[in-house]
Chain A
Amino acid sequence: MASLEQFTVDRAVAPGDALDERAARRSLRAQVARLERELSHVVATGFPHVPASAARVADHGAGGPRLLGLAQLERERDALAGRLQDVRRLVHARVEHERRAHELLERMKLEPGRYRFVRLPVRDLGEGGCGVWEVRPRLGLIGMLAGWWQLTLSSGCPLPKGSR
């Protein structure tokens, strides 16, 4: 299929050494494009633990559409790079949090008696839902007194008719 031709209208003549600056702006736009895609990828894969608003570049971007000059593109690039670093730190912190939660769960399984009444939401493990791992005594008060502890997983969701 033949491509549609677009008409170009001359409205200004660029001075000669604006060519270098134009090349610089082109390069900056390519960098901005790459950073935006990376940022979107990190936010999308980290959601919901990384909020979508983490991609917002503060004090920026509501001024109306316009052609950006060299300095503006540099600021845009730098702000995006900074934001990407911040978001990666959030993701890293979340990964660390989940790793520690998994380790805690393993220890709770091995020695439930050392983690009496400790609760670990499944969300902390990176899983969906509202279940909670909890160490509880077997057979209620008897288990508590006898030192019989077990790891349980509750659904976390309230019963439709309220608690029994």
Chain B
Amino acid sequence: MCGNEAMAEAAIQAGLDAYFGYPITPQNEVTAYMSQRMTEEKRVFVQSESELAAINMVFGAAATGKRTMTSSSSPGISLMQEGISYLAAAELPCVIVNVMRGGPGLGNIAPSQGDYFQSVKGGGHGDYHCIVFGPSGVQEFADIMPLAFDLADKYRIPAIILADGILGQMMEPVVIPTNSKNSKLPKKDWALTGAEGRKQNIVRSLWLADGAVEQHNYDLQAKYRQIEKNETRCEQSDVDDADIIIVAYGICARIARRAAQQAREQGIKVGCIRPITLWPFPTDTISKAADKSPIFLVVEMSCGQMVEDVRLAVAGKTPVVFWGRPGGGIVTVEKVLEKIQDLTIKPKKK
């Protein structure tokens, strides 16, 4: 099964009520898979007239308390930013999949990690965050999907799965968790279900009273601090004795891990930190690792975006070096290994 299909089936197994999407490469397998399976399951599938409409259909379904998602790729996700800002403001849960491609603009259809900033720093207008996952394989797609829905529901927040063209298209053996919806989540008593026998519910993102939006922002920030405390996830390997620590996510993390293993075979002590949640970012883990003064090497398929968060976490304690390729250029094990070897050559004194 390819990554795109694994995500789709995992979402269906997690109790997805409605999927809304618009065609764009390299995520078309999600939409096609949903059109078949959601119909079989007698659930809702709508191919929208635009990504703008898709994210607003998600908004509508989410406002009535349903489990809902959309998927797209970079240019389409840009169009959705207005809706994502509204979802964040109205505190509506949903899952948004971004199978990233080369940008900016129409770019190309090759894999990229160029949407990191857009995903983890908000993306649309206003002070907000979405929970952002950066899975690195087809199995992890399947495992993270139910978690993404559960956390979205628990915290009333949009969750983003940040994938790329390789992961979306790549085929791997996968076991999809079945009937994976958590039944212990809080009741959605805020949802719009018709006001029969109760006061009206209102889902909104406009507060005109003096200081009301300021207070709403403080409330959102308090929620974000809770998420940072409870939901930060990352994977560490061979970090304790490492002279060099590679920080990478998604497909780059798998490439980096292989390069690290090859470096170890050559006697270079390399470890890896792989953020699984990109927001909240594993700042504490990286900060702690920086105390032992390794060199940090950040590898991304971009011109360097996550590296800024690594630098903030390291806070000048030790050098942070970046290597990456933008616009659909793919990072290879050989190149990462070469970069590791470069870092082990001590600069000559003049």
A interacts with B: no
